[in-house]
Structure 1
Amino acid sequence: MVVNHRTLSAGERIELRRRRLGLSRRVVAELTGRSEEWLRQIERGSRRLDSIEMMYRLAEVLRFDDPVELIGLPSSSRSGARDIGEMGLQLTALNRAIMDHPSTQVFATAVANPLPTLDSVRAGLDQCWYSWLGSGHRYTELAARLPQVLASARSIRAAAQAHSDGQLEESGRVLVEAYHLARFVLTRVGDYHLAWLVADRPIGILTQPAQPILVAVSSWHVASALLSMGYHAESRDYALAAAHRLAAATRSAETEGPVYGALLLLAAECAAGAGDLEQSKELLAGAARIAERLDPAAGLRTIWFGVPEVAITGMDIALRLGQVDEAIRLAAEVHLPDNAAVDVRARYYLTTAYAYGRKGEDFAATLALQQAELASPEDLRFDWMAHRTLQKLSRHDHHLTRRDLAKLLAAAGLA
């Protein structure tokens, strides 16, 4: 369901953002210095948000780029809406490739045209994954390449189904991986509903007995998409069910593998969002045990799991709960391997910068943002967490970081 934010009251807007971030009413109330009953009345509309000070506090806690967004007025912030809009235009071809259902005339016309070979489509997909995992300009590169790869993969899959030839299974695998990559891109740019749609597509392509690992990976993507939309309990249950199915299908052979660990790790974050902190702690510990025993070379490109990912998720959980010092402590313990994917490096540095920004340690936050820019300039440009941290730092206008901050603001499109 797509929510029209312009029709929401201030209380509804606050509650929606709070739930999407996985924050309990108690945590938000404590961070703003008010009672849980006060926040409940605000959300229910029985009390008005008539204090500018409290509006700013809530905007900070709930990560609104501009406090006036709380009451539904047009934002005066140059928060990057222009840049996200530009990325949205660049992704138009990808959106069309996703929405082009096999039953439509557009897809039928594409199928009627000469098909590329499966090897050429696989090579194109490999290049897309190479860009996503290793390029600092991965968003624009994939916006140019992935739509054609996805359309071609769907055409080959449709032809294989029509003729029942030997390419059916392999063409399905290629199409599924293309969908997984599209889900990553759409989630990063904030198109959560289309990300959920593209995550759900592979479930109908795969068969559980033949490809249990790929089915589990696809389930992880669905659960991740649900988490992004704020469905914490549903995402947790989906991830845990997928983990149980994987263990049953492989006779527990994969319960020490990266896919099983990634499902537990995702469930831990979802459990925290759902308010079950004890379960979150247990799941996080279980994922950590698997990660510590895991061969780093055992990872998959369609799902990332290891010691750094466990630590970053722990940071995310701590920030959800308002435990900034714990997030910073965890950040100090992270060791990123030299071959860590761009997404992992960018996520770590941006999360670290956000935590230091929340703490008021401007110099450390600036250094972390500089590292994020080195890892991926486009992540600095399109990630909401980067923008929120930069805006906080610019308001502080610290003399030791002024020059470096000006460069970062320009790189993020905020100058």
Structure 2
Amino acid sequence: MPDRTDIPLTFGQRVRRARERAGLSRPVLAGLVDRSTDWVKSIENGSIGMPRLPMLLRLGEVLGVDDLADLTGERRISSTTYGKTAHADLPLVKRALATYQLAPRDEEPEPLDTLMARVRRAWRMWHRADEAGTTGHRSRIAQLLPDLLADTRYAVKTYEGPERRRALVAQAQAYHLAQLFLSFQPAPDLVMLTGDRAMAAAQDADSPKAIAAAAWYMNHVYRDAGEATEARVELVEAASGLLRRDQDPEDLARWGLLQLAAALSFARIGRHGQAWRYWDRADHAAERLGDDYAHPWLIFGRGIVHAYKLTMHNDLTRPGEALDAAASLDLSTVPSATRRSYHLIEAARAYGRQGEAVAAVHLLRKAWEESPETVQYNNHARSALPDLVRSAPPVVREDARRLALEVGVPV
């Protein structure tokens, strides 16, 4: 008798299919959604029914599923619609990415030194601490991006030879900033678009340094989209091979960053040995650069490498090691408020998994004080706060509720 193809898959069968496509074992998926392996098994065999929306969103995020209908089999429910918040300036950035200057401009292009200085200033604004009463880092960058994108495009179109290649490097960095602005918003197609445009500009510039930076950001795109780990690591290895890490400290920093990208990719799918092998390479590169070194806009250095150890333990579902890493987290050498905030959220994630709600609420508040918009657009923070409001001990429950309201998460 031929197989029936008209019988709809159950929710559990859809979860299993998505898990296998993402290359995750049941224990790894269980750890990533803060549940037991038996819970995942029960979901997949139908012993447990479909969970509530917060857990659906978490499953969709971990499995790389944007449309929850791929799991539920019901009407289209976009996880980005429910799980991610759109910045007020998202339409402004969308319009800038879709605007093409077809008519010739009369003025001369901006001097390249001036253009590069504007790009460096934009990166400083992205990493700067959010002061009380000021706009956040995404809001600041959104106001700069339309002109920056337009002016780098015009410079690329107008300059020739080495000057054009410099303009292409500036353009790639502008697209990196656009990608960062768009991340964790309901615009996954634009995140992919900006990553691809940055890589194309870096390749046209024939700049190994620019290609390495683009590979770092593309690795994040692929990892969040659930693309095959092997493809991501191949990209890292290819870009790493272009760099002269034994001759140029700048190349060494970017080489180390790419090793870190591979480590994070392997950790995401539970491959311990490969993850830590690449992490060791990144740490060795950072050690060679010196304990106080931090790249001015990629922020690579020992502080970042050691902070990402916490994320790896979280993804590898090693709760004891994650707590140890959280307890020893030292962000004093990380010159970026957005990065410090992210790693504080990761520490909250580690404590939350162990039922340490008091510590989790405290760390999320610290992350908010470092960079409110980082917390506002972080999937873990947004999903964790409603649970903390419901289940945290009374001593911090009101603190969790106030923070959730500030972040804009319904509770």
Given candidates 48, 51, 54, the residue that maps to 2:49 is 51
- What's the counterpart of residue 59 of structure 2? 62
- What's the counterpart of residue 3 of structure 1? none
- What's the counterpart of residue 117 of structure 1? 110
Q: Specify the SS of the correspondent of 1:197.
A: helix
Structure 2 residue 33 is matched with structure 1 residue 32: no
Distance in 2 between the 1:148 and 1:20 partners? 40
Distance in 2 between the 1:147 and 1:20 partners? 37
Q: Specify the SS of the correspondent of 2:102.
A: helix
**Shift in Å at residue 133 of structure 1?**
0.6
The answer to whether the Cα contact below 8 Å between 1:125 and 1:146 also exists between their aligned partners in 2 is: no
Q: Specify the SS of the correspondent of 2:394.
A: coil
**Shift in Å at residue 407 of structure 1?**
2.0
- What's the counterpart of residue 143 of structure 1? 142
The answer to whether the Cα contact below 8 Å between 2:344 and 2:363 also exists between their aligned partners in 1 is: yes
- What's the counterpart of residue 90 of structure 1? 89
TM-score normalised by the chain length of structure 1: 0.79
Given candidates 104, 120, 123, the residue that maps to 1:126 is 120
The answer to whether the Cα contact below 8 Å between 2:309 and 2:325 also exists between their aligned partners in 1 is: yes
The answer to whether the Cα contact below 8 Å between 1:94 and 1:147 also exists between their aligned partners in 2 is: yes
Change in 2 beyond 3 A, CA 1:198/1:256: closer
Letter in 2 for 1:234: A
Distance in 1 between the 2:325 and 2:40 partners? 29
**Shift in Å at residue 84 of structure 1?**
1.1
1:2-17 paired onto structure 2 within 5 Å: 10-11=11-12, 14-15=15-16
Query: Deviations 1:165-195 (Å, cap 9, x if unpaired)?
Result: 6631322221111112112222243644322
The answer to whether the Cα contact below 8 Å between 1:27 and 1:321 also exists between their aligned partners in 2 is: yes
- What's the counterpart of residue 267 of structure 1? 262
**Shift in Å at residue 342 of structure 1?**
1.4
Q: Specify the SS of the correspondent of 2:234.
A: helix
Unaligned runs of 5+ in 1: 1-6, 101-105
Change in 2 beyond 3 A, CA 1:64/1:199: closer
Change in 2 beyond 3 A, CA 1:187/1:388: same
Distance in 1 between the 2:255 and 2:120 partners? 24
- What's the counterpart of residue 158 of structure 2? 159
TM-score normalised by the chain length of structure 2: 0.80
Change in 2 beyond 3 A, CA 1:20/1:322: farther
Distance in 1 between the 2:344 and 2:237 partners? 29
- What's the counterpart of residue 302 of structure 2? 307
- What's the counterpart of residue 340 of structure 1? 335
RMSD of the alignment, in Å? Answer: 3.7
Count of aligned residue pairs for this structure pair: 386
The answer to whether the Cα contact below 8 Å between 2:323 and 2:350 also exists between their aligned partners in 1 is: yes
Letter in 1 for 2:101: F
- What's the counterpart of residue 5 of structure 2? none
- What's the counterpart of residue 202 of structure 1? 198
The answer to whether the Cα contact below 8 Å between 1:256 and 1:294 also exists between their aligned partners in 2 is: no
Change in 2 beyond 3 A, CA 1:129/1:188: farther
**Shift in Å at residue 120 of structure 1?**
5.1
Moved more, 262-271 or 389-398: 389-398
**Shift in Å at residue 150 of structure 1?**
0.8
**Shift in Å at residue 296 of structure 1?**
5.5
Distance in 2 between the 1:72 and 1:183 partners? 31
Query: Deviations 1:111-163 (Å, cap 9, x if unpaired)?
Result: 43646523554444333212211042011111222122111211221122xxx
Query: Deviations 1:307-356 (Å, cap 9, x if unpaired)?
Result: 23223322222222322222121111221126620121111111111221
**Shift in Å at residue 239 of structure 1?**
0.9
